[in-house]
Amino acid sequence: MDGAQRDGTFFFCVLRSGSARVYLRTTPEVVFQRMQARARKEEDSVPLEYLKQIHEIHDDWLYRRTLFYLPAPVMIIDGDKSLEEMVPQFEKCKDRILNEQADGTTSPRIVLNTKA
């Protein structure tokens, strides 16, 4: 299992405005705990209050959909779950996230990057 999978970190890049969005919705407290557990120097000075602020912005944008116009659906995945709980949840909706085609190839619209 690579570092990104251990951390439960998944980054989704949306390449076109019409593509679906995936929101790995995680409470600021859980994000803060995970940052402390990783003990990365570059995350050392990020205060919980900042995480709360950006969480509200992302919730307004992707969860409540009140901040910006979204031309595509948003799939919300509970990021507060443990890695053991998240992997099956991800596997369950993987095809929708990656927009798998009948021949097993994936659409270039959404790229899953699990690099830490």
Render pLDDT for 5-17 as a digit per residue (tens, 0 to 9): 444 343 333 334 4
CA distance 22 to 87: 15
Q: Is 110 helix (H, G, I), strand (E, B) or coil?
A: strand
Q: Which residue, among 62, 53, 52, has the nearest Cα to 27 in the 3D structure?
A: 52
Task: Assess contact for 110 and 101: CB atoms under 8 A.
Answer: no
The pLDDT of 74-82, averaged and rounded, is 89
Nearest 5°: CA angle at 56, between 50 and 61? 130
Please report, as a single letter, which amino acid is at residue 111. V
DSSP state of 41: G
Q: Is the pLDDT of residue 80 over 90?
A: yes
Model pLDDT, residue 92? 84
Contact 18, 111 (CB under 8 A): no
Per the CB < 8 A criterion, the answer to whether 106 and 99 are in contact is: yes
pTM, rounded to two decimals: 0.66
Confidence of residue 113 (pLDDT cuts 50, 70, 90): very low
User: Domain-by-domain residue ranges, the chain?
Assistant: 14-100
Q: Kindly state which CATH superfamily the domain 14-100 is placed in.
A: P-loop containing nucleotide triphosphate hydrolases (3.40.50.300)
**pLDDT confidence of residue 116:** 38
Q: 75 - beta bridge partners?
A: 22
Of 15-24, 25-34, 97-106, 107-116, the range with the highest mean pLDDT is 25-34
Q: Rounded mean pLDDT of 35-41?
A: 96
* 25 neighbors 78 (Cβ within 8 angstroms): yes
Contact predicate 65/81, CB 8 Å: no
* Residue 77 confidence (pLDDT): 87
